[in-house]
Amino acid sequence: MRHLRNRLAVAAALALLVPAGAMASSARIAGLNVSGDYVKGDYTGMYTFLSEVNGVGNLAYVEAGSTERAYGDHAVGAVLPGLFDGRMGVWSFHLRQEHPALGQSGIGELLGPDFEDTNWNNSGEAFDVIWGHRMGSGNLGLRLNRSFESYDDGNTVVEGNGGNGRNVLGLGAGYDFEWADKGTVQFSGLYQSRHYKNSATDQSDNGKALQLTARMLHKFGGNATLIPVVKYAVLDQARIAGTADVTDKYTQFQAGLAGNWTVGSGDLLVFGAQFAHNKLELNTSDITENYAPNVFLALETQLNPWLSFRAGAQNVMFYSLTAESGANQTETKGHEFSFNLGTSVKLGSLMFDATLDPAFLQNPFAQLSGGQNAFYWGGYADRATGNAGAVAFPKVTATYTW
């Protein structure tokens, strides 16, 4: 009981230190439960729209892990516009425990439950550098990243860590420019080669990933920004199994529009919708899903000068999933709903953003004490017993600015 009281006292003390204005981070975006493509002014946007690295400023961040990767996915990074006195552009460096999915780090893509990017290399990234520079009336961003592991004893050669842990070499470029003094237009492309080799009969077959994106940040009225987004992505995870070529290809197209409104005393309201078409091609079947549309709504507000709170929901309306195998075809229709909460803590120049288990408000005592009666979403599955443990903060990011 004394231990529980101590944890509650610490949580209460931290809550009093939460800042009025939330800083940008991947945990913040996760708490809003909105694709980061539709949120303005968040540093995680530079992973998709590379030219945004020029506007981040001096920043260092720490990804403290998340339940999505069983508390892995740790990372430390920094954006340094003043390196070399700023004469050689903006440099950013990112060191990760695991290679992230395409686009924004640790946030994932709108690929649906059957269309997630399951490839990651848990040997960590050898390097990930994003460089930016002002060019005329616009901004340029370039990215180079590499994840690699290899074993060779003279008889056996192993590259990567299997089909879901491929070695990655990624190249990217992005550019943005002002449009009629009303907003910014951004274009970006990312390409990755993804290869592995367990043996001559178990290896990748021209594995690659490609993402092309465009969006506009259009000022609308005195307190609103409209953000239209178009995105196309291909993830080709083809492989050789024995003497057979195995097809495993994901294709995605999405288009959407969101509004970011400044309401109240600097609070943020995000509302929008995405239309998405996702397709998975396998050797003997194709799976297609359509979001028509996915509607999202999020609020970020300051409860007092120190306390910020955020919440967001998504509802995939008119959802359809079609599976085709030869002459057989099945179709499922319905909708899918998701919900998330988040909060922040500031200690000096260091900001902590965290997502909250959706059941946190109903039973914070179980969450903080690590009890077994918390909502499963925020917990983790014990590998031995399968029980769910309470996790008050499924994802935490720390950011330091100067």
Residue ranges and CATH numbers for the domains of the chain are: 2-401 (2.40.160.50)
The encoded tokens of residue 239 equal: 């492989």
Phi and psi at 68, nearest 5°, equal -60, -30
Phi and psi at 45, nearest 5°, equal -65, -20
Q: What is the pTM of this model?
A: 0.85
Rounded distance between C-alpha atoms, residue 244 and residue 248, angstroms: 13
Angle among Cα 393, 116, 26 to the nearest 5 degrees reads 35
With CA atoms as reference, report the closest residue to 238 among 374, 391, 119. 119
pLDDT on residue 347: 84
Q: How far from the centroid of its chain's Cα atoms is residue 352's Cα? A: 17
CA distances from 332 to 94, 278, 290, 322, 323 (A): 41, 14, 11, 6, 9
Sorted by sequence, the CB contacts under 8 Å of residue 156 that are 6+ apart come out as none
DSSP assigned state of 115: S
DSSP string, 22-84: PPP-HHHHHHHTS-GGGSTT-GGGGGTSGGGGGGS-SEEEEEEEEGGGTTEEEEEEEEETTGG
How would you write the pLDDT of the chain (402 residues) with one tens digit per residue? 444 344 333 333 333 333 334 446 889 998 999 988 999 888 988 999 999 999 999 999 999 887 766 667 789 999 999 998 888 999 999 998 877 677 765 434 444 555 567 777 676 678 899 999 998 889 999 999 998 889 999 888 899 988 888 999 999 999 999 987 778 999 999 999 999 999 989 999 989 999 999 999 999 888 999 999 999 999 898 999 998 999 999 898 999 999 999 998 889 999 999 999 999 999 999 999 999 999 999 999 988 877 899 999 999 888 898 999 988 999 999 888 889 999 998 888 889 999 988 877 877 766 666 654 444 443 334 433 444 456 778 889 999 999
pLDDT on residue 40: 87
pLDDT on residue 53: 96
pLDDT on residue 94: 93
